[in-house]
Structure formats: structure tokens, C-alpha cells
Amino acid sequence: MNLLKKFADLVLYGNFWIAICALAFYAQTVFLLNHDLVWTPVAGLVFFSSFFLYAVHRIVGIDRLQRFVEVDRYHVIAYFRNHIRLYALITGALAAWYFLQVPWLVKLSLIIPGIISLGYVLPILGDQKRLRDLSYIKIFLIAIVWAWVTVWLPALELNAYNNTFVYLMLLERALFVFAITLPFDIRDLKVDAFSKVPTIPFRIGVQKTKWLAYLLLVIMLCITALNYALGYYTFPTVVGMLLSVSTTAAMIFFCKPETHDYVYSGLLDGSMLFQFLLIYACNVLL
């Protein structure tokens, strides 16, 4: 059991899991636009750049939160610190290698989200602040960057960006990411209070934050229904989306500040991978 826990910790906090989830969301967009799945330089870039950025985020974060180093996930991250540094070097190099291979249009489109992502994890602002330390802004930045990287990049790659479907999918994806990110602010209430970063749960409370997440998921489903009405989504895709949103809402229901981080970093992050698998399976089986 101890060995299994160490493996789970390595996958989650070594950033393998979040990189897989990013790749799954990329693959979902490609599948919905092209009904085909192949490995491309953009896929490699999405996977390894996500891995790299979250590894740097872990390294910088643990150095700034020494007070919590013996608590739960921070203790695990500190334990795997040297692993994470090595992974950051390797995945950073691989991300750069794939970046050189992607089309110029993709390269140019990454300038703004790249700056936002680096500013989110590195203390580039005054008083050693990061973009994530600017009150409510961090959750919006996460939703925007994730939607951009997992929807807009594959749309550019497939030359399908001049399409109403893509814009609706961008909004749909951003709403979903926003909804599953809100519970992480519930988890981080103590840490954000220590860092003096006001968040939505801090202002409106845990329960109202959950209701906000449910509302965002409902709006997302309305966009899904619109995509179906316009002929962009098949019925199996809608079924997959509905199952995804239902299971995600159930996960959010059980989120509390004291809930184990496996629910957050494992299940809630994993809802991105699960959504892709549900949509793919429904389209194959139905």
C-alpha cells in the first residue's frame, strides 16, 4: 500500500497527471474537429510545456511556502523536489524542441499565453509577486490559458480556426476549466490567506462557490446544446458531455477545505481526461 501511495504521489505531484490531462483536452478538440487522433508536434508541445510549467510552479511554490512544508501535498512535493527539478529540465528541453517544429502561426499564437503562463509561476512582478498572487485574477488566467492551449492551438493546427464552432468550444472549455478550478481555491483557503491572496471562496464562502461552479457547468451545457443544434456536435458527443458534467458536479459537491488533495489533484484534474474518454467512448459505442 505504501508503494502504491508513493507511485500515486509521484504521478500526481511529479506533474505526469496534469500533463496527461492537458494532452487529453487537446486530443478531445482534435477528435471533435477532425474525428482522428494522431501524434503531432503541437501535441508534444502541449504535453511537455504543461509538464514543464507545472513543475516550475511546484518548485517556486514550495520555496515560498516553507511554513506548510510538513503538511499533506507540500510534504510530498518537498520529498520529490529533486525529481521535479529534473523533470522540469527534461520537459523544458522537449517543449522547446517541439516548439521549433510547430507552424509559425502556432508559435505566434503562443506569445500571449506563454507570457501569462510564465508570469503565473515566476515572481516577475514587484515584491516578488506572481500573477497568481493578484487576488481574483488567477482563476480567470487559468481558464483562458487552458482554453487557448487545448482548443485554439489544435484549431490553428488543423486550419479550422475561422469557425463559429471553435469559438463556442473555446467558451465551453473555459467555463469547464473555471468550474473545476473554483474548488481548488476552496482547498487553498489557508494557503491563500497566508499569502494574502483574496479568492472567490474567501469572499463568498465555500457553499456559494460550489453553486457558482454548478452554474458555470449549466451554462457550459447550454453551449453544448447550441453546438448540437447547429450541427457541430453529434448526439453521442452530447451524451459524453452530459455524463462528464454530472460526474464533475458530484466531485465538486464533496469538496471541502479538509478534503484530501487526491480528490482535487486526482479526481478534479482527472475530470479533463475523463471527459475526453467519455466523448470518445460514446462516439465509438453509440
Tens-digit pLDDT profile for residues 191-216: 777 667 788 898 899 999 999 999 99
Segment 48-61 mean pLDDT:
88
Stronger pLDDT, 229 or 6, i.e. the higher one: 229
Segment 63-92 mean pLDDT:
74
**pLDDT of the residue at 260:** 86
| Confidence label for 282 from pLDDT (cuts 50, 70 and 90) | very high
Distance between CA atoms of residues 84 and 184, nearest Å:
21
- Asked whether the predicted pLDDT for residue 34 surpasses 80, the reply is yes
Distance between CA atoms of residues 17 and 11, nearest Å:
6
Instruction: Report whether 101 contacts 41 (CB < 8 A).
Output: yes
| Confidence label for 40 from pLDDT (cuts 50, 70 and 90) | very high
The beta-carbon contacts of 71-80 under 8 Å, at least 24 apart in sequence, are: 72/260, 72/261, 73/13, 73/261, 73/265, 76/9, 76/13, 77/13, 79/9, 80/9, 80/10, 80/13, 80/14
Distance between CA atoms of residues 136 and 139, nearest Å:
7
- Asked whether the predicted pLDDT for residue 65 surpasses 60, the reply is no
| Confidence label for 49 from pLDDT (cuts 50, 70 and 90) | very high
**pLDDT of the residue at 161:** 85
**pLDDT of the residue at 68:** 53
**pLDDT of the residue at 59:** 80
- Which grid coordinates are listed for 202? 474567501
Segment 13-28 mean pLDDT:
95
**pLDDT of the residue at 71:** 61
Segment 44-49 mean pLDDT:
97
| Confidence label for 74 from pLDDT (cuts 50, 70 and 90) | low
**pLDDT of the residue at 64:** 57
| Confidence label for 6 from pLDDT (cuts 50, 70 and 90) | confident
Whole-model pTM over 0.85: yes
Q: What is the CA radius of gyration of the chain?
A: 18
Q: Among residues of the chain, what percentage have pLDDT more than 70?
A: 91
In which element (H, E) is residue 98 found?
helix 81-101
Angle at 272 between CA 50 and CA 176, to 5 degrees: 100
pLDDT tens per residue, range 125-155 = 666 677 777 767 888 889 999 999 999 999 9
Domains parsed from the chain with CATH numbers: 2-285 (1.10.600)
Question: What's the chain's length in residues?
Answer: 286
**pLDDT of the residue at 195:** 67
**pLDDT of the residue at 22:** 97
